[in-house]
Amino acid sequence: MNKPLRNASVFSLLLVLTLIAWVTYVQVARGSSLRDDPHNTRRAIARYANPLGDIVVDGKPVTGSRATEGSLRHKRTYTDGELYAPVTGYASQSYGSNLLEALERPVLDGSDSRLKNPLQAVTRERSEPGDVITTIDPAAQKAAFEGLGDKTGAAVAIDPDTGRVLALVSTPSYDPGGFAGSSTDDQKAWQVLQKDKKQPMLNRALRQTYPPGSAFKLVVAAAALEDGLYDSVDVPTKSPDPYLLPGTATKMRNENPFAPCEDATIRTALQYSCNTVFAKMAVDLGQEKVAAQAEKMGFGDSELDIPARAAKSVYPDGMNDAQTGLSGIGQFDVTATPLQMAMVTSAIAEGGKLMTPHLVDRTTDGGASALDRTEPEEYGRAMSEDTAAKLRSAMRTVVDEGTGTNARIPGTEVGGKTGTAQHGENNSGTPYAWFVSYADDGKGHRVAVAVVVEDSDAARADVSGGGLAGPIARSVMRATLG
């Protein structure tokens, strides 16, 4: 063989070896990353090649699949899409997925390794999809959704014993089926939702934070009882009316000028929602002690997954005394999600023990066999049993005789706290109306609820937690307890 031919042969052999090495590297080293790349169209083709598994509420699927034409052979469908959108999220051929549709994707599309038999594990063939069984109570979900109606707001209900999320509602909502495909109509539906100023795709129950207003007074009261600042909800506090915010010339007054707020007990101060009492109480405690109590209830947790991640609720630091006083009534820079405020009342209802909220009961292989199950888990001890009992007693007074009478349920123990939170530049925005509560039917069934109404048709002067949010909470509690 002459030299030029030999060189050409060696060069060709090197090219072949390089190609083999590159193919091996791509298939072995980078195979998984390329296969899982969101821009890989084969992922979408594989995912929608067969019907997806279902998200289930109380034994009934609220999702489905429908055959379509084209390379993406199946399209996601939804039953009562607007009602359950804050739970299911969406699965769209064009726009991806979120919430349970995204977080439980491997189970729903059959790619989860736990669904595969030995042969499928070797061939990487997709198995039959599994299902996701939620903790949602359909009666509670419907009651919250219908109660909010055309109002902008959110509602959350939790089983204090287990942490099961029984209702998770955000309004206005949207129908995930409207853009589940890839047609022009789907694109138009998506664009309309993106331009909607009311942000129907924002999950207000989990991802929106609000000033909690007077609902936060429960946290301050818990801190005062735990600290020993007051040993009972029935001893007078040292609270002037009006209260001069420290270091300022600003006198804080109460919404009701005739309320008996001067030196009021914690019970009376919650009953009449006395701002002066809780502002001074927060200053007397100091921001560190209030912050410590808030953190025990979930404030400051940036990794609260249910499994969808909730926005972090915040009790601020670095405040002066006047700002600390404002924080005591849930104003200044205090913010909370509806989920967070439901956790506050859940801890009080459960004797001071806070259970970690969760939305998924279990995932299954599409049959009776569970792939995994969410066991109740204690988030932490938020307060002593004694403190929780005292707060429940005071909260019952709020409902029986105070600002929360709209939440009464005959024959059922109900405790609550109203809240009206100012916001906007110079408090110019329509106040947010809160109601947080618990109910106990005396038969072993309890529920903790938080409702916030962000916007309604009510005049500014008529906005109140008891008037707007209280009846919604009552409907949810009644539906849950049957």
Active site residues: 214
Torsion sign, CA atoms 89, 92, 94, 99: positive
Residue 331 to residues 64, 119, 451, Cα–Cα distance (Å): 44, 60, 17
Residues 231 and 390: beta-carbon distance below 8 Å: no
Q: At what angle do helices 138-148 and 81-88 cross, to 10 degrees?
A: 110
- For 368, half-sphere exposure in the C-beta direction (CA atoms, 13 angstrom radius) is 0
Residues 464 and 418: beta-carbon distance below 8 Å: yes
Gap between the Cα atoms of 136 and 138, Å rounded: 6
β-pair type (432-440, 413-421): antiparallel
DSSP 236: P
Gap between the Cα atoms of 478 and 163, Å rounded: 19
Contacts of 107 (CB under 8 A, 6+ apart): 53, 115, 129, 130, 131, 132, 363, 371
Gap between the Cα atoms of 334 and 320, Å rounded: 14
Closest C-alpha among 448, 460, 469, 481 to residue 404: 469
Which neighbouring-strand residues pair with 363?
132, 372
- Which H/E stretch holds residue 20? helix 3-24
- For 404, half-sphere exposure in the C-beta direction (CA atoms, 13 angstrom radius) is 35
Contacts of 209 (CB under 8 A, 6+ apart): 311, 312, 313, 314, 335, 336, 337
Sole residue written with tokens 């006198």: 251
Contacts of 172 (CB under 8 A, 6+ apart): 150, 152, 196, 198, 200
Torsion sign, CA atoms 299, 301, 302, 305: negative
Gap between the Cα atoms of 273 and 280, Å rounded: 13
Residue 236 to residues 231, 263, 264, Cα–Cα distance (Å): 10, 5, 5
- Which H/E stretch holds residue 440? strand 432-440
